[in-house]
Structure 1
């Protein structure tokens, strides 16, 4: 019964683990002309608050100037447990204004994402736009950015372009803007990301009161952000000047993301279709551990049936001597064979795999537990998550019920919020011999007590009321066996 409860608890545990979601969205809408919207923003470098420009990242009076504005809270870009990515849409209005006293100005403004938290980079003025280091085209810090570039460096196509940067100041995709980006007019930009298609798109307009339709993007590219960024990222703006100056200001900013947790499908029968195999991968993992619990329940039931049969056979014996020696014989058989007969017949080429829990526990002791993963997965799984799942499964199937985890402990371990338990390298052996010995001793004591009581009563009455023939009948082996029974 304990094993059955363990199996039920294990099934409930995995159901709870599957449906536990993470905090998955970030949403805000800020107007930087309103002082009440400033609390959620962190200014870095030379960025300042301005009553007419909102956030003034740089001004036109300082060369080699860097200013940044970032949102204080992190964005969960993708779920490290399920690998699911977030969709997001961000809209911001900005102004780039070059100095009226100079023929050249630069260098530009960028919307960027980088690991959280993201401190200001030293020596990042000019062409790197405050998000990359000068002197190197590639970044040592994972960064994805959308740049509005106003100065032609040696790696740029011209001095008016929109680009998508991924860990490099050299744009992965670029589109020249038909006109000037630094006229001082109010620009509205949208950056969208579709987690299913991996499409990153940029929309830009200088129209008055624009309405976003989601069509006619200025630039787009297919990019898997998980390959370039960690799960938690900083989002914000950065601008820089070099030998020439320029004013960069952000007046408003809205952001909305949605990360839908992946549901884990139930185990399905394998088919020849690759699509069906892909859908059943997660189900196979869960089925592996739940199947182990069910196997233990069946083994326990068979042991109980065998015990009942042997007990019944001992009661129905007509021979008193066999009855008196039953316990000793049973103990000898148990000790000699190291326990009762296995409840299942071992077959196949590798018989260890028939007893799934023992086999997985043996691999755990050899530190090769990942070998128990279903071959149909073809190694396409996260090793940390797979190891966690199997160790927690062994923990839940521990032969000693007092050492099994609670539902909360198991869920915390599955979510990688607590360290995994240190299980013994070999699977502990259930102490069935203690139970059998107690039952045997009880039967033995009961049998002796019955025989002694009846014999004592016979002795008291035999001398006065029994005839010699009756006394002889009491001492008969057959009669004595019946009475003791």
Structure 2
């Protein structure tokens, strides 16, 4: 179970997925959790917004509690520095959701009459993470602002004092729960025009998320509800929810998806974790002057890491892109494990709040498409032939030489990078999939780029090594039929880029053209494997005899 809602993007969510209670309402691009007016809040207001579906937190067969991670962006706005309170909470409570009576003020919409002496019991139990802006009788009195973890009571079992009045802006928070170890970690980040701050706390308590409402087998109504609540008392402030993502891991998992990546990447000599502040500084706060390019799911910036004294390329995933988050996860899970001279090296990664960033080695000569389609730039034939062989070597490693078969699914010139020596390096593994060797093609979701994507995928929805071989053969979109016609008339060399003025090795050029046509054969079963294709390019085996005309595709 997982979701990712950005309330400023209407296509990213449906209001039917939420149950508001009390004074909570959706207003355009966010949820107001209390009765807010933009000149100030209203006192003694309380409201909650719940995910409208129960969460299967405990496995009914084994009794194990699942792990989860949730991130959310929320705002607290204090309209009068001497008159503020009370705060916001993320919590797990009973399903279906209901707002307790008399839960305004310091109760934060979690329980009746503060429940600081008599804890809640039965179905009214809850586990909450509070972001509190007012000192009530049960709160620590070091500062006004604090965050805490509450279990069935407003007396926190773990708390962290924050700077007074620091909970007074838009912030992002992340809660990770490890179901196996019973560990909850909470992190909050806030940004201002001056600086970014981050605070975190941890609670180790194995029984924290094992109240009775997770134990009844086959009873959905005993599964918990996940929700947000907020309240004001005699004092007022605004409380708003801007975005929310949640991922549930199977019972017995050691951590959330992000935490799992943290553990994997920090082992050995692989990619390392960077702080957002480091990467922001490296790119001049992601200024336009450092932007190298922009795609459907984010932009890429040039950056300089002072500590390592190295130039890098930093990909910043668009905040509102659900697909971008999926690609980020795929990228870090796959490319971080691969080692080959013709693959772009992933140096590091960062996921803080809603920011997802990938750090790569910088390719000084950009992408292949900038050279193929630029009338003022000419790649010599030796450079082109080396690029073809390099890409073939990368695909041979991915398809046959690594421990699993990696199908890239988006091979095209803009994903082929060129280093200072014009060595080709394949990048962008956001759409890649892993398969066990020998299992053949697999049904997948529709993915790829028109013109380079295997047309058979339109019919079957199946992608495999043969799909990558097709894209490798195409090289440049919408040329296959024309080149095949030249091949049939014995004039295939006329397809060479006329800007080279005939300055190329004719034998190498013919091999590249014929191998390209063989790889782009309309019938995937008749295409060579990437090993066979590379062997043809290197003169290790003879070229195939193709039909004089392009075979009629069965998908035509």
Say whether the fold is shared (TM-score over 0.5).
Answer: no
TM-score by length of 1: 0.45
After TM superposition, the score normalised by the length of structure 2 is: 0.39
Q: Which has more strand, going by share of residues?
A: 2
Please tell me whether Structure 1 or Structure 2 has the larger radius of gyration of its CA atoms: 1
Q: Greater relative contact order: 1 or 2 (C-alpha under 8 angstroms, separation 6 or more)? A: 1
More helix by share: 1
